[in-house]
Amino acid sequence: MISPVRTVGIAAMFCIPACTGVPKSTEPLVGAWVVEDIAGRGIIDYSRVELLLELDGQLSGSTGCNLLIGRYRVEGSAMTINVVTTTRKVCPEALMYQERVFLGAIESIDSYRFDPTGPLVLQDDNQPWILAQPYKRRP
C-alpha cells in the first residue's frame, strides 16, 4: 500500500507540470530571442532587436530604438502578439523606419514555426516576417 504522503508526492509530480495553466506549445517559445531578419530585409548593423517571451504570456523587448511591452498568445502553432506600449525615444530615421516595420510585422503574426536550421519564424499566412535566434540573457 502506498502511504498518503507518497500519493501526494506522486500526484504533485504529475500535476505541477500539467496544472500550470500554460499550454505545452508555449514552452519552446519562452525565453529571449534576438531578431536577425525583419520581412526579408535583415536588420541594421549594430542595432539590437529583441523579444523576451515569458511563461505567463507577457512580452517585452527592444525595437532597436525603443523598448516594448505587450502580450502574446499561443494555441497550437497559432500565435498572436499585442504590443501594449513602447517608449518614445527619437532615433535616427533608419532605426525609426526599422521600428515601424518590426512593430507592423509582429502585430500581423498569426502563427509560428521553427526552421530546421534553428531560428524561430514568426509568420502571417505562411509568409515569414520575423526570424529570431535564442540567446541567453545575462543575469
CB 109 within 8 A of CB 81: yes
Running DSSP on this structure, what letter comes out for residue 118? S
**Mean pLDDT of the residues in the chain:** 84
Residue 72 DSSP class: E
Residue 83 clears pLDDT 80, i.e. is over it = yes
SS3 of residue 21 by DSSP:
coil
| pLDDT tens-digit map of 45-68 | 999 999 999 999 999 999 999 999
| Inter-residue contact 49 to 62 (CB < 8 Å) | yes
CA gap 17, 107 in Å, rounded: 30
Read off the pTM: 0.77
pLDDT of residue 127: 87
**Percentage of the chain with pLDDT > 90?**
71
- Among all chains, which residue has been given the C-alpha cell 509568409? 127
Average pLDDT over residues 92-113: 95
Looking at residue 119, its pLDDT comes to 92
According to the model, what pLDDT value does residue 18 have? 41
Question: pLDDT digit string (tens) for 26-49?
Answer: 568 999 999 999 999 999 999 999
